[in-house]
Amino acid sequence: MSRERRRHWVMSLLLVGGLGISSPELRAQEIVAPSARTLFNRATLVRSFVEVKHSSLQTDGQSVDVTQYVPVLAVVYGFYPKWTVIVAQPYVTVGVTSRMGNEARQGLNGLADLQLFVQYDGLYSRNTPGGLTRLSGVFGLQVPTGAQRFSTGAVEYTGGLIFQKAVRLKYVFSGDFEYTIATENRQGVSMGDRARFDGALSPFVISQDKAPPGASWPRKAFDRVLRNGAYLILEFNGTWQAHGRDQGNEIANTGGTTLSISPGIQYFLSNSFLVEFSAPLPVIKALNGTQPKPQSTFVFGFRYLF
């Protein structure tokens, strides 16, 4: 591989390959952060969501806009009491618009790397009437199965802890910390280790009693709309990523720290099917060097338990 071609490949991979796709093992109470919710033994959950991210860079009268569409299909299976396995396959579509005198557009799409996780919900567990406290451990692999333009070409290892506390079946608090080790690919390039840390508060809202015959229309509407309930979610999502490395040398303009506040909702259409939406708002964008900074993100999808 020529030096110029190698440089172009490395920068393209850093731009559209290290997308920071949300953890696919999400279940109820969190949309952006991972969850410690346990599946019953032999139960299966299917989650599909789309993450839409827009970032931009402006410098010296020039600008670059990047829009990423990342649909993900994830399957979660409770293969043993307190044990679940998660398999997720992302697909990526990226549009890049550069304005440097003339406007130039570039579009890329393809499969991203496959993600595999195992979660154990028995590190600590205490159930009380109407509540629970749980500490879970998670271990994951990202294997280089995606298209070259979206694959790191190397295995990544993730380990972490997830805490969850529910009070009176009405309020749920969760927090987590995960660390990912990024190994080098055959070209000697590493995307850089990264850490994520999240906290979420999720009150549950549901119609308690059927509206009486003489109730007002807002009361009847509340009963119909929230018959199955909904979680109103406020998350705090942080990420840190080290510099990428090429042959052991730091790659400029890579890595950094971001923090988002993410309001969202999970709406139950039935006891086994929900739809969800979240809009993370970036409040800290401390990226190293000159990089497109996140401007807006939207996540919407569904989960089905059977």
Domain ranges in the chain are 3-305
Model pLDDT, residue 132: 85
Model pLDDT, residue 40: 58
Burial 228-255 (b: 16+ CB within 10 A, else e): eebbebebbbbbbbbbbbbeeeebebbb
Pick the CATH number of 3-305 from 3.30.420.80, 2.40.160.40, 3.90.1150.10, 3.40.1130.10: 2.40.160.40
Residues in CB range of 121: below 8 A, 6 or more apart:
36, 38, 82, 83, 84, 134, 136
Provide the percentage of residues in the chain whose pLDDT is more than 90.
50
Q: What is the pLDDT of residues 199-257, one digit of tens each?
A: 999 898 888 777 777 788 788 888 888 888 899 999 999 999 999 999 999 999 999 99
In the predicted model, what is the mean pLDDT of residues 41-62? 87
Is the predicted pLDDT of residue 73 greater than 50, yes or no? yes
Q: What is the pLDDT of residues 93-113, one digit of tens each?
A: 999 998 877 888 889 999 999
Give pTM, 2 decimals: 0.87
Q: What is the pLDDT of residues 128-177, one digit of tens each?
A: 877 889 999 999 999 999 888 888 899 999 999 999 888 877 888 999 99
Q: What is the pLDDT of residues 180-201, one digit of tens each?
A: 999 999 999 999 999 999 999 9
Model pLDDT, residue 17: 34
